[in-house]
Amino acid sequence: MSEDEFVRMLAIAVAQGQISEDEAAELLRRFRADELRPIDLPLPADEAVRGADDDAMWLALLALLVAAGLPRPTSRANMGVLSMAARIQARNVARSAFHQNVGVLAGNLTQTGNVRAWHMAMQTQIRTYLSQQMAAGLGRALGPTELAYLDDIVRTQESFLYRYAAEVAARAWTNNPLSEAYIANRADQYAGEGWAAWFEASERELTGQDGFVIDYIARDDGATCSPCRFAMQDGPYLPGTGPYPGQVCLGAGNCRCERRPRFAPEEWARLMFG
């Protein structure tokens, strides 16, 4: 990692209130003196943001099908489209696995102090989870256009993770590490974008079809946030438009709201033509 990039990481940590400017100056001195181990450093930017790729997406989908107890195709050519029930089952399995996995990674980090290993593993988890949720929403493997869209989402989330890794590392460098619970909870928030990706992908087959509208279903259990309530009140929406669970929710990765299609020609016409 270059000194310029290290300084940028320190600036992120200072801006987020994780360390003071005096602590940042001392850390820069230690970096120049080569007192920080490689495992103490997050991934550099050119390794931290890599995006999605076709082979990784396919392997992630196969792993999800096995975990969800669904039939595993021997090749893409003989994979049909999953039923909606199977898509929902896969969605929920993927989310549970992500929650469990990031918790394990947080525990490993606090025990070993290996920031780089945690950053690499979180990068893999995010890439895998987003691939799985988008494929599960579609009910099949992604095509080239869909893969390009996934790549943009993954790169955005990896950029957020890069900034978060700078905070995690800076706290560790000052012997004031973030707690396991905090790291796990913050990491779990990345599940929100995957939750949204499932609904967005599942609606693609309805885009352009006459008569279908989408209802935003807020989970009203006394803990529903105001953005999700407003999203429900402002509906319905045309497929592929409007707010998505996990994106607008203040709870992000904890969002349990959904979007559901409904055949309502009159409402569709009103939304479509005004």
Which DSSP string do the residues of 40-56 spell out, in sequence order?
GS---HHHH-----HHH
User: Each residue of 15-63: pLDDT tens digit?
Assistant: 999 999 999 999 999 999 999 999 999 999 999 999 999 999 999 999 9
Q: Among 11-15, 136-140, 217-221, 228-232, name the one with the lowest average pLDDT.
A: 217-221
- Give ∠ CA 116-196-169 in degrees, rounded to 5: 20
Q: Are strands 258-263 and 212-217 parallel, antiparallel or unpaired?
A: antiparallel
Dihedral (CA of 81, 86, 91, 95) sign: negative
Measured in whole angstroms, the distance separating CA 76 from the mean position of its chain's CA atoms is 25
Write down the pLDDT at residue 252: 82
- Closest CA relative to residue 215, chosen from 169, 166, 264, 182: 264
Average pLDDT, the chain: 94
Q: From its phi and psi, is residue 245 left (phi > 0), alpha (psi between -120 and 50) or beta?
A: beta
pLDDT at 121: 98
- Chain centre to alpha carbon of residue 55: 19
Residue scoring higher pLDDT (226 or 92): 92
Q: How confident is the model at residue 74 (pLDDT cuts 50, 70, 90)?
A: confident
| No. of helices (H) and no. of strands (E), the chain | 11, 2
Residue 223 confidence (pLDDT): 64
240: its two tokens: 């592929």
Q: What is the rounded distance in angstroms from the CA atom of residue 214 to the CA atom of residue 211?
A: 10
Which tokens in the block code for residue 126? 């995010």
User: What's the pTM?
Assistant: 0.93
Q: In this model, does residue 83 exceed pLDDT 90?
A: yes
- pLDDT value of position 222: 59
**Cα separation of 111 and 102, whole Å?**
14
Whether residue 140 has pLDDT greater than 70: yes
**How much is the average pLDDT of 62-78?**
92
The first and second tokens of residue 5, run together, are 């990039």
> Which tens digits make up the pLDDT trace of 159-205?
999 999 999 999 999 999 999 999 999 999 999 999 999 999 999 99
